[in-house]
Chains A and B, each alone.
Chain A
């Protein structure tokens, strides 16, 4: 935990300086942090050994909530829009969680996949409401009551997102260290024994599911505001797969890793798309295989020495 905090502090300082040194990367980094929030959601479930191949659903729920609220011209502020997106995602997860937490392993992945693909098809089909395959534009909202121009909005949106990330990372860190969080590890290692101890694994997983969806919804909201556009692809299975990919890249079960992973991912993707357009998927695919085969603890392990826990 101490080590993680130190790591986080170093990472924070490095990231926080970016807008001053590489201004054009500000938006890219904000996007990476937004995606990182969704990845953190996947990481929470990975603690319990459960993988959701449909977290794009909650990501899209957050993003579309923000888009609808902005289109309704209520004049809501960014600081209200983001929690609203997270809330809607959480509510969906609480309701759907009653079914989803009964499933484990590949079936958990499948039921999440099914429901996110239903959502994807609906977002694509309900043209009159969702804008269909083209999605919706999100006009720039106010930030803390201020109407900002592009440059200053991007600048402050970055720091707002960074602040949210820090608060969320600390909170999730505490949650994972709490009995509820430890219960997740117990589900992964031996659920039946946990049940024999009189602990409801369903309840523990349900809470984790809601927390995880909340994070994904928050991330989706950030992306909607920063990029000014939402699309059904947010709920597509490839997007959900990316979240899991980044979670593994950063080191499964690692809070800092979720954000480190998504920053690396975003940079690789941007540069690969710009300079090796035909091969960027190959680059990502090969690195994923390499991580799984040779560095199962993820990038954080590669960079900060061998700190093997178990395995």
Chain B
């Protein structure tokens, strides 16, 4: 009893020292961004950060959000989950960040979402893809401004059965971590629903960051699958493609690489034509629907001038998160008679928010999941670019491919109908000329 009273008193004392959140208009809006600045995933994290730097500078040049300048504090996810969590806390509690943008890694999003609830800080899941975040839990403070693995894998499976209908056997080579396993599992679930007679000949999970896939490639060559699915990215995908291409394996089977968009430019000559590529959403620097869009063109050019590379999907994801943040503040302020909104008003504004990043509009559902279109294409080689670009592009509307509210992706995907591959809402485009 005494202990309990003492504890309550001490807790109150501790609470009293932590700063209370202010509802009056702040001098600046501090946001925290967790992204990879080190480690293999910095191939996503650094472009994401570059995009944030550019977009926030643009935003502040136009007066910031509701006249309040935005300042971003970047946290490195590469230092490990534990380090990340204490940094995240420090940025919220000590630096007074009012909104957090987390994170590239699904594991980190899964770990940080409960922390955001604890800290009562609005948390935008800007790039991570695990469907488990909102399917296994309900979070008040977290919203996702992009799609999840379920939608991404379904789109790739729909594209495969539509464009290469005659295959019989399939093999998977995926990175050995939760996202790699989830991606392969969901892809296969969708594919089996679309094409029940498909035969799986191998499921390989090479070590994350493996430097060599020679043995895996030999084994796959011996098995001769019609289709090989590889959801890896970064150095792993680069290594796999280079080694497979050098051994003539890339032309033996049809390859599906749902995250391949992020490696196209780096791979250059090594990526052959005829590979099915996705970009985690409708993210592509030659997006056929936005090629004539001046804002899109201007951004792609400025990004290329600044970084020397074309934007890849994390850049688009960052643009979506910042657009959503801006629009949610605008909407919340409108509902609050033009005053600076409270935290709860901001969170309410995210509900059913429709916003425009760089490509197609995204809508946030009641369950805080974003509905994002998916773009899948097939590589071709053209003289204008020193690397493969996408042809025969199909765009799948977010509403078609995203697991409905209340369903779990794995169950829903097992029940989809083969006819979905011919849904009239799917648009198809040839390569940008």
Contacts and interface: CB of A to CB of B under 8 A. Distances in A.
A-B complex is real: yes
A103 interface: no
B83 A269 contact: yes
B10 A132 contact: no
A156 B18 CA distance: 16
B198 interface: no
Contact of B14 (A28, A151, A228, A233): A151
Nearest to A269: B83
Interface in B90-139: 90, 93-94, 106-107, 110-111, 114-115, 118-119
A23 B7 contact: no
Contact of B118 (A127, A144, A150): A150
A129 B81 CA distance: 19
Given A124-B176, A137-B110, A273 B83 contact: yes
Contact of B176 (A132, A156, A277): A132
B223 interface: no
A62 to B, nearest CB: 15
B85 A229 contact: yes
Contacts of A301: none
B356 to A, nearest CB: 33
Most chain B CB inside 10 Å of its own CB: which residue of A132, A151, A229: A229
A152 B4 CA distance: 11
Contacts of B178: 127, 131-134
Contact of A152 (B14, B17, B81, B208): B14
Given A28-B86, A231-B81, A277-B37, A125 B176 contact: yes
Chain B contact-residue range equals 35 or more
Interface string A150-168: 1110011000000000000
Contact of B86 (A23, A27, A149, A156): A27
A221 interface: no
B232 to A, nearest CB: 13
A229 B110 CA distance: 10
A146 interface: yes
A233 B208 CA distance: 13
B114 A228 contact: yes
A270 interface: yes
B87 interface: yes
A51 interface: no
Interface in A225-241: 227-229, 231, 233
Given A227-B81, A229-B82, A137 B37 contact: no
A239 B11 CA distance: 34
Given A23-B17, A151-B18, A228 B85 contact: yes
B80 interface: yes
A118 to B, nearest CB: 14
A142 to B, nearest CB: 13
Given A23-B18, A133-B208, A273-B76, A227 B85 contact: yes
Contacts of B429: none
A152 B176 contact: no
B20 interface: no
B66 interface: no
A150 B18 contact: no
A173 interface: no
Contacts of A233: 80
B89 interface: yes
Contacts of A31: 82, 86
Contacts of B86: 27-28, 31, 227, 270
A24 interface: yes
Interface string B57-92: 000000000000000000010011111011101100
A269 B90 CA distance: 14
A24 B4 contact: no
Contacts of B85: 227-229
A151 B15 contact: yes
A274 interface: yes
B86 to A, nearest CB: 6
Interface in A122-150: 124-125, 127, 131-135, 137, 144, 146, 148-150
Contacts of B107: 133-135
A146 B7 contact: yes
Contact of A155 (B3, B11, B94, B176): B11
Given A127-B176, A134-B177, A228 B18 contact: no
A132 B185 CA distance: 15
Given A127-B176, A155-B10, A277-B38, A24 B93 contact: yes
A145 B10 CA distance: 18
B176 A135 contact: no
A296 interface: no
A134 B82 CA distance: 12
Interface string B1-26: 00110010011011101100000000
Interface string A1-38: 00000000000000000011001100110010000000
A21 B82 CA distance: 23
Interface in A207-226: 223
A231 B81 CA distance: 8
Nearest to A233: B80
Given A133-B176, A137-B111, 20 more contacts: A23-B14, A27-B86, A27-B89, A124-B176, A132-B181, A133-B107, A134-B107, A134-B110, A134-B178, A135-B81, A146-B7, A151-B11, A152-B10, A155-B14, A223-B82, A227-B85, A270-B83, A274-B90, A277-B38, A277-B76
8 contacts: A132-B176, A132-B178, A134-B106, A152-B14, A228-B85, A229-B81, A229-B82, A277-B76
